[in-house]
Amino acid sequence: MLGISLTDNKRSEPTARPGQTCLHSFVLRVRTVAALDRAGILTVGDVRSMSDRELLEVTNVGPKSVADLRLAMAERRTDEPLSCLVACRPLSGRDQAIVQMRAAGENLSAIARRFGICRSRVVQVLDLAATSSASRTFDSESR
C-alpha cells in the first residue's frame, strides 16, 4: 500500500500555489483502502462504478468509509490507484536508520538484531519506505 502520514481520517492541508487546485484536500484511513484492496477494488474508477450499497457489502467498509471515499475521490482521475488517497506516514528515526543500514549493505538479520526486532518487521519497514518514496514520486509527477 502506498501511503504519506498514516492518519485516522484527518484532513490534510497542504498549501496550493495561487492558481493551483490542491489535489490532496482529504485523505482516507488506511483500513478503508486495505479493505477495498482485499475485495479487489483497486482504482478510483472501480469505486466510482460501484453504488454505495455495493461498497457497504465490502467487509470493514461502513457508512462513514463510503462518505469519506466519495469526498476523497472528488478531485481524482479514474485510473489512479486508491492508495493515492492515503497520506503516508513519515519514517521515524529508527526506520530511517534501518533504511540507511540496508542501503549500506547490511543483511536483514544484522539489522533486526541491532534494533531488537524480527526480520519480517525489517522487511515491513523497508517496504513502507519504498512505497512511501514511490508515492512521493507519483504525487510530484501528477502535479
What is the distance in angstroms between the CA of the first residue and the CA of the last residue of the chain? 21
Query: What are the grid coordinates assigned to 57, written together?
Result: 457489502
The pLDDT of residue 105 is 95
1-89: CATH number = 1.10.150
Which residue did the predictor score with more confidence, 11 or 85? 85
Residues 6+ apart with CB under 8 A from 57: none
Amino acid at 143: R
How confident is the model over 4-29, as pLDDT tens digits?
333 333 333 333 333 333 333 457 77
H or E element that contains 93: helix 93-103
Q: How far apart are CA 78 and CA 19, in angstroms?
A: 23
Candidate CATH numbers 1.10.10, 1.10.287, 3.30.70, 3.40.190; the one for domain 93-142: 1.10.10
The pLDDT of residue 89 is 64
Tell me which residue has cell 475485495.
39
The pLDDT of 31-47, averaged and rounded, is: 88
The pLDDT of residue 10 is 38
The pLDDT of 73-87, averaged and rounded, is: 74
CB 30 within 8 A of CB 3: yes
The pLDDT of 97-118, averaged and rounded, is: 95
Confidence of residue 88 (pLDDT cuts 50, 70, 90): low
Q: How far apart are CA 139 and CA 143, in angstroms?
A: 7
Burial 100-110 (b: 16+ CB within 10 A, else e): ebbeeebebee
DSSP conformation class of 88: P
Domain assignments of the chain as residue spans, ordered by start: 1-89, 93-142
CA distances from 139 to 35, 75, 124 (A): 23, 14, 22
> For residue 68, is pLDDT > 80?
yes
The pLDDT of residue 6 is 34
